Amino acid sequence: MSQKAFIKIIQSYCFRLNVAQFIKKAVFVLYIGAGVGILLQAIAFIIPFYYAGGCTIIILILVLLTAVVLAFIKRKNMEQTALVMDRFGFEERIVTAYGNLEKEGALVELQRTDAMNQLQLQRDKIRIAILPSWKLIVGLAGLFAILIVLALMPSAMKERARELHHIREAAREKTEEIEEILEALEELSQEQDLTVAQQAALQEMAESLQASQEELQQASSMEMMKAASQKLEYRYEHTGNTLATLAESLRNGATVSSVTAESMQALSEKLRGMHEAELAQGTAGQPGNQNGTGQNGQPGNQNGTGQNGQSGDQNGAGQGGQSAEGGTNGSNGQGDLNNGSGIGRGTGTSSTPHDYVSIPNEIAESENLTGNAVNHDASEYFYAQNGLSWEGTHMSHEAVIGSYEQNAYEGIAAGKYPSGMEEIIKAYFSNFN
Amino acid sequence: MGEFGNNGLQDPAYMAQRIAACEREIQKGIIGQREIIRQVMLAMLTGGNVLLEGMPGLGKTRLVSTISKVFDLSFKRIQFTPDLMPSDVTGTNIIIKNEQGNAFSFERGPIFANLILADEINRATPKTQSALLEAMQEHTVTVGNDSHALTEPFFVLATQNPIENEGTYPLPEAQLDRFMFKILVRFPSKEELKGIVTLTEGSQEPDIIKQMDSAGLLAARALINQIPIADAVMDYLLEIVMQTHSANPYIKEGASPRAAQALIRASRAKAFLEGRFNVSFQDVKETAFPVLRHRILLSFDAVSEGVNEDNVIQKILEGTKQ
């Protein structure tokens, strides 16, 4: 055997050894990665953990990278390979010969020849397995199978995690949007020529939007998110209007530069635009969820306080309201075109801005709720809180009454009430109209 | 040069064959004790001195005399006793009368031989024991102002009885360190004992034939010194010696650098005896026991727990990564 062939043999075993080492390390770290992945997937069944899948993939990639790095750091060089080869009964002949390749001397040459001869004769003794034992591989495959099953298995918690994720994403986007507006408001408030009242108004707007920011960040359900969005939508509009008013007054004044007024106007328009966008999003995204209250400027909003905005007929005392969307039209409406006396019911909408009030526990008797449902008064509470009322926490009188009325009529239809009470119930609700 | 000729002495393969023949020949005169024979051979091939420890009657003297025959070496036996004086070992200057008148002349002691059997060395006083120091290390003897070179090859094979401590003078560490090997001669097995009895009590003594001469032995030693050692094996060997100095509750004092030298030489010789021209980890492991066991000073903990030197060396070997 020539010296070149001797080196080539060691090189081939060196490569094989390093590949085997990498695979061994990869299997080891993949065991760890799969174990951690299974743990993460199991956690995703217990608590909402949207990123369980992503984390598992990242961990698997990281452990594989670790295996590559470890295998590279601990890679065997030629001398170490020769030592490994010697373990197959060569009694350190190969490593000695390799270490003395450049040296000369009778005994050194004799040793080299002896090593090469032995290697040629007994090369088949050297067995360096590239793959680990089949038991390890089967075990790893089993772990991955469990991991995949767990990852694909649906569960309520996973659904919840997905929902929360979407909420947080939406909240994050809106929070960033609010942040921009807050910065713009902050800049406007720096204008020294603004009056104290104007600055206070700007401050109030900022606080109002900050409150929305907090609500969005704390939203943990679709309902909370929806409520927070509605508040935000209102606040956009309100802030936009207030800014427009301020801008107008600034334009009329002499002390403030027109640039500030223009900035305010621009911000006002931006906010209004955002309000409209929110509206469009709300309408498009949440069909049928308005319970027929038709806020968000749905049909019927043009009628101001006139609930039952479209009576059953022109002359009658029709009671049937018109549902804005998804509501029930006056199915029980009776009457004709000329003299109808229908008793139709519905969840008619007649909201204008600031048109919502708290769900009345005690109609007109709460210290915060002094409006009268019968008179269609506006709620003081509503005004006291800068008009921050919205579905979920506050409803229009009409909606509340409509809901009760609907239940009552359904009860009548189902025969729930004693005979004689039906007319009383109908009369009771008629008084509201 | 010896009878084998220059060419043969330069040929490692041939020398390995001759040495193997020597080993076989020694085994003809000594029944069993193969490991002892092997270790004594290793010491002789590397020029080391050997301390044989064992009960009387185990064939120590016979072993040495057989070796001297096989290698055709001059052999002297010195029985160490408490009243033995250094000059009884080294020789002394005496007044002789010649033609010019009276003059001092150096009278060589028994140490002037190739092979010295220092029998029961621990019975002599330290002063006499130390007379061997220079001879063992420098292969010279100084009497008065004159140094006298000893005949090469020169080996000291000392024996001591491990049981009888009364009236003995344990060898000091400095002297122990000069012995390359400390070999424990154990009692033979029943089969071996039968062979010994048959051999020694029979009518015919085995005919021991000379296999090599002193020149051959020196040539073999020169060859052995050239045997290459891989870096990994050398690191392993040195690590073993260093381990005797690491924190070990059973070791009071570790081995000297001379131990590392002895280990290298012994490992090379062992490889050569086995027909290899390189040192293996196994060579180092097997020679570590006779090389290190008398160079490690055990702590009180070891003595109190009944841990001996071989146990400590075994632990070190197990804990040293190849």
Q: Which residues pair with B115 in a beta bridge?
A: B75, B155
Range of the domain at B309: 227-322
Which chain A residues are Cβ-neighbours of B282 within 8 angstroms? 91
pLDDT band, very low/low/confident/very high, at A109 (cuts 50, 70, 90): confident
Rounded to a whole number of angstroms, the distance from the CA of A99 to the nearest CA of chain B is: 6
Yes or no, beta carbons of A105 and B223 under 8 Å apart: no
Yes or no, beta carbons of A105 and B280 under 8 Å apart: no
B211 lies in the same domain as B233: no
Q: Are B53 and B185 in contact (CB under 8 A)?
A: yes
B218 lies in the same domain as B315: no
Which chain A residues are Cβ-neighbours of B279 within 8 angstroms? 92, 96
B247 lies in the same domain as B180: no
Q: Is the model's pLDDT at A433 over the cut of 70?
A: no
**Length of chain B (residues):** 322
Q: What is the mean pLDDT of residues A67-79?
A: 91
Rounded to a whole number of angstroms, the distance from the CA of B15 to the nearest CA of chain A is: 12
| Least-confidence region, from A141-150, B5-14, B276-285 | B5-14
Nearest CA in chain B to A108: B228
Rounded to a whole number of angstroms, the distance from the CA of A96 to the nearest CA of chain B is: 4
For B232, which of A83, A103, A110 is closest by C-beta distance? A83
Which residue of A84, A96, A116 to mutate against B (max B Cβ within 10 Å)?
A96
Of B206, B226, B246, which residue is a domain's last?
A: B226
Residue A45 tokens, joined? 């069944």
B79 lies in the same domain as B203: yes
- Say if A104 is an interface residue toward chain B (CB within 8 Å): no
Output the domain CATH number for residue B296. Answer: 1.10.8.80
Question: What is the predicted pLDDT for the residue at A281?
Answer: 62
Q: Are B26 and B63 in contact (CB under 8 A)?
A: yes
Dist. CA A93–CA B277, nearest whole Å: 8
Q: Is A67 helix (H, G, I), strand (E, B) or coil?
A: helix
B101 lies in the same domain as B167: yes
Question: What is the predicted pLDDT for the residue at A202?
Answer: 85
**Length of chain A (residues):** 433
Place of tokens 């490593």: A95
| Least-confidence region, from A159-173, A232-246, A250-264 | A250-264
B191 lies in the same domain as B283: no
Q: Which residues pair with B108 in a beta bridge?
A: B91
Nearest CA in chain B to A98: B230
Quote ipTM for the complex: 0.81
pLDDT band, very low/low/confident/very high, at A94 (cuts 50, 70, 90): very high
Q: Are B236 and B319 in contact (CB under 8 A)?
A: no
| Least-confidence region, from A63-67, A241-245, A371-375, B42-46 | A371-375
B58 lies in the same domain as B43: yes
Yes or no, beta carbons of B226 and A105 under 8 Å apart: yes
Rounded to a whole number of angstroms, the distance from the CA of B20 to the nearest CA of chain A is: 18
* Closest by CA position to A157, among listed A40, A44, A56, A37: A44
Reported pTM: 0.65
Which chain A residues are Cβ-neighbours of B226 within 8 angstroms? 105-108
Which residues does B70 contact at the CB level (< 8 Å), separation at least 6?
A: B22, B25, B26, B208, B209, B210, B211, B212
Q: Give the pLDDT confidence of B138-148 residue by residue, as tens digits.
A: 889 888 888 88
* DSSP annotation string for A223-254: HHHHHHHHHHHHHHHHHHHHHHHHHHHHHHSS
Residue type present at position B142: T
Cis peptide bond N-terminal to B153, omega within 30 = yes
Q: Is the model's pLDDT at B211 over the cut of 50?
A: yes
Q: Which residues pair with A357 in a beta bridge?
A: A395
Which chain B residues are Cβ-neighbours of A105 within 8 angstroms? 226
Of B226, B250, B282, which residue is a domain's last?
A: B226
Dist. CA A53–CA A43, nearest whole Å: 11
Q: Which residues pair with B146 in a beta bridge?
A: B143
Nearest CA in chain A to B271: A91
Q: Is the model's pLDDT at B36 over the cut of 90?
A: no
Q: Is the model's pLDDT at A383 over the cut of 70?
A: no
Q: What is the mean pLDDT of residues B85-95?
A: 88
Structural domain count of chain B: 2
For B278, which of A79, A93, A106 is closest by C-beta distance? A93
Which residue of B6, B278, B321 to mutate against A (max A Cβ within 10 Å)?
B278
Of B226, B257, B278, which residue is a domain's last?
A: B226
Rounded to a whole number of angstroms, the distance from the CA of B114 to the nearest CA of chain A is: 28
B218 lies in the same domain as B254: no
Rounded to a whole number of angstroms, the distance from the CA of A142 to the nearest CA of chain B is: 36
Q: How far is CA B110 from the centre of its chain?
A: 18
Q: Is B162 helix (H, G, I), strand (E, B) or coil?
A: coil
Dist. CA A72–CA A171, nearest whole Å: 45
Question: What is the predicted pLDDT for the residue at A150?
Answer: 93
* Closest by CA position to A84, among listed A25, A24, A16: A16
B35 lies in the same domain as B135: yes
Yes or no, beta carbons of A96 and B279 under 8 Å apart: yes
- Say if A23 is an interface residue toward chain B (CB within 8 Å): no
Tell me what the pLDDT averaged over chain B comes to: 86
Yes or no, beta carbons of A92 and B226 under 8 Å apart: no
B194 lies in the same domain as B237: no
A313 or B149, higher pLDDT: B149
Yes or no, beta carbons of B223 and A79 under 8 Å apart: no
Rounded to a whole number of angstroms, the distance from the CA of A118 to the nearest CA of chain B is: 11
B34 lies in the same domain as B167: yes
B208 lies in the same domain as B245: no
Q: Give the pLDDT confidence of A19-55 residue by residue, as tens digits.
A: 999 999 999 999 999 999 999 999 999 998 899 999 9
Chain B residues with at least one Cβ partner in A under 8 Å: 10, 12-13, 223, 226-233, 276-282, 322
Output the domain CATH number for residue B54. Answer: 3.40.50.300
